[in-house]
Amino acid sequence: MRGEGMRTAYFGFCPCCEKETNQVHVVDETTTFNIGGVDVTVPDEYYQCLACGDNYWTGACKDALELAYAEYEKITGKKWKGIYHDK
Ligand SMILES: [Zn+2]
């Protein structure tokens, strides 16, 4: 599930096409992960190339999944230990 974020159009290098293309930089879009049965919504940031349609992340982007694990810990008071936890 994704919420609408802020999109900025620009012209830049796409690592998928390996050339300069029209792209959008998306920030503050929300992504919901289901972690161990708990829905965790976190802000996401990524780039999308309009030529090939691929999304990609750079080192400057936050890792949404890592944020989701931290948020899970806040919600449940438990540390996420992997997919087989509590089973
Ligand atoms: Zn591309």
Per-residue model confidence as pLDDT tens digits over 17-48: 999 999 999 988 888 999 989 999 998 888 99
> Confidence class of residue 60 from pLDDT cuts 50, 70 and 90?
low
The H-or-E segment that residue 75 falls in is: helix 64-76
CA of 64 to the centre of ligand 1 (A): 21
CA of 25 to the centre of ligand 1 (A): 13
Determine the 3-state secondary structure of 41 from DSSP. strand
CA of 67 to the centre of ligand 1 (A): 26
For the question of whether the overall pTM of this predicted structure is more than 0.75, the answer is no
Q: Which of 13, 21, 29 is nearest to 64 (CA)?
A: 29
Phi first, then psi: what are they for 71, rounded to 5°?
-70, -40
Q: How far apart are CA 55 and CA 25, in angstroms?
A: 10
Q: Which of 64, 46, 47 is nearest to 13 (CA)?
A: 47
Residue 75 predicted with pLDDT over 50: yes
CA of 84 to the centre of ligand 1 (A): 36
Q: Where are the domains of the chain?
A: 6-76
CA of 49 to the centre of ligand 1 (A): 5
Q: How far apart are CA 17 and CA 35, in angstroms?
A: 33
What integer pLDDT is reported at residue 66 of this predicted model? 86
